Structure 1
Amino acid sequence: MQQTITTYEYSTITQQVNHLASVERSVNDPQIRAVILATTLEQLTSLLPSADPLTETFLAGLQVEHLSRARATQLLETLIPMIMPFPQLTPKQLTKLFRKVKKLKQPAWPELKRYEMTYLGWNDGGNQKKYLVAPYHDHLIGIQGEFSPQTVKGVCAICQTIGNVALFLATTKSSGLGTYTKKGNYICRDSGQCNRQLTDPQALTDFLTVVQPKRN
């Protein structure tokens, strides 16, 4: 099976399918439902590989009189083999991305759904730190930062969605004289949820541009 769908495209597909299932439950007018279905199918077709049996089965499965949330979930799962997942990194590879971190806390890989991950993020609550590994200009970079224990409602700088966010601050420059420049923004406390909401990778790139260390 050729993997052709990006993780953020899968997030877009998931959101559109879940919206369609919600419409089926809340809208009684069959004409309105038909219009929304046609619009959704057109949008999904542009994201899925053409002339692929999985694509045809998936789209056909959406065209039912009443699309339940359970049925929508089952259909979305059929697309997983087509997704380009986030790579699983070894402890050595992660350590190289965070050379200055002693005793790096490793993410719980078995609990992660890599087909939903545009980036990797995990929290170290004991040290009030957050670690990010993400694609930046065609290669993976590692960013560490202070992560506030205080959670507020706000817009995440990465997924651009309102949710439970906290302030992430990374040291971007050091003068060598004991003074540092720190930059950051509010991002989702739960990186898994953030990934599921992320449909535009440009916002992630913009965030990384702000928080990555600057060369003197």
Structure 2
Amino acid sequence: MKPTITTYQYNYITQQVDDLVSAELSVNDKQVLAAVLAKILDRITPLLPMDEPVAQTFVTQLRAERLTRAKAAKLIAPLVPLVIPFPQLTSKQLEKLFRKVKKLKQPSWSAMHLHEMTYLGWNDGGSQKKYLVAPYQGRLIGIQGELAPQTVKGVCAICQTIGNVALFLSTTKSSGLGTYTKKGNYICRDSAQCNRQLTDPQPLADFLTVVRPQRKK
């Protein structure tokens, strides 16, 4: 079974199934439910490798069963092997991405679900830093920035979802004369939660364009 689904597509499929469950728990009209199911299948079927038995079974069961939250979780679980996971980087690979960081705090890989990750993000509470590793223009880049201690309710620039966000600022330009340019935006403090909510990679790419260091001309 070859992984073909991106993590954000998997999140989108999960989100659509959650919407179907919500409809089935709140609506009794069979015609309305049939219309909701048809719309959701139109959205997610093109993302699935329908030549795979796992995907075929998933769609068949989605049509046949009236779902609960528990049933939906069991239905989605077999799709995980079809998801392209985020690569688990070695310590040396991470250090190479953050050459200027002398004592890089390593992320806790054991607590991460790689099939849910479009990007890697972890916090260093001691230094009020946040580290991001994300795909950008065909390669992985590493970005470090200051993460404000204050958490507010707002829209995350990466996942475009309302939640607990904090201001992330990175140094994008240095004049060499002691002056710096810092840019950033509000993003989810919890990167794992952010990843689970991310269904479109474009806002992430836009955010990286803003906060990545600029090359000296």
TM-score bracket for this pair, using the shorter chain length: over 0.9
- What amino acid does structure 1 have at the position aligned with 2:136? Y
Q: Equivalent residue of 2:168, what SS?
A: strand
Match of 2:28 in 1: 28
Moved over 2 A (4+): none
Match of 1:151 in 2: 151
Match of 1:4 in 2: 4
Tell me the CA shift for residue 69 of structure 1.
0.7
Match of 1:61 in 2: 61
- What amino acid does structure 2 have at the position aligned with 1:76? I
- What amino acid does structure 1 have at the position aligned with 2:101? V
Q: Residues 43-80 of structure 1: CA distance to partner in whole angstroms, max 9, x if unpaired? A: 11111012221111001111234201111111111100
Percentage of matched positions with identical amino acids: 69
1:27, 1:57 → 2: CA distance? 25
**Mapping of 1:120-199 within 5 angstroms?**
120-199=120-199
Tell me the CA shift for residue 171 of structure 1.
0.2
Q: TM-score, normalised by structure 2?
A: 0.98
2:135, 2:116 → 1: CA distance? 14
Q: Residues 59-117 of structure 1: CA distance to partner in whole angstroms, max 9, x if unpaired? A: 11112342011111111111000000000000010000000111101100011000000
Q: CA 1:65 to 1:77, structure 2 compared with 1: closer, same or farther past 3 Å?
A: closer
Equivalenced residue count is: 216
Q: TM-score, normalised by structure 1?
A: 0.98
Q: Equivalent residue of 1:63, what SS?
A: helix
Give unpaired runs (5+ residues) of structure 2: none
Are residue 85 (structure 1) and residue 81 (structure 2) matched? no
1:65, 1:184 → 2: CA distance? 45
Q: Residues 126-169 of structure 1: CA distance to partner in whole angstroms, max 9, x if unpaired? A: 11000000000110000000000100011111011111100000
Match of 1:72 in 2: 72
Q: Equivalent residue of 1:76, what SS?
A: helix
Q: Residues 173-214 of structure 1: CA distance to partner in whole angstroms, max 9, x if unpaired? A: 011111100000000011011111111111101100100111
1:61, 1:171 → 2: CA distance? 50
1:103, 1:41 → 2: CA distance? 48
1:87, 1:39 → 2: CA distance? 33
1:166, 1:203 → 2: CA distance? 17
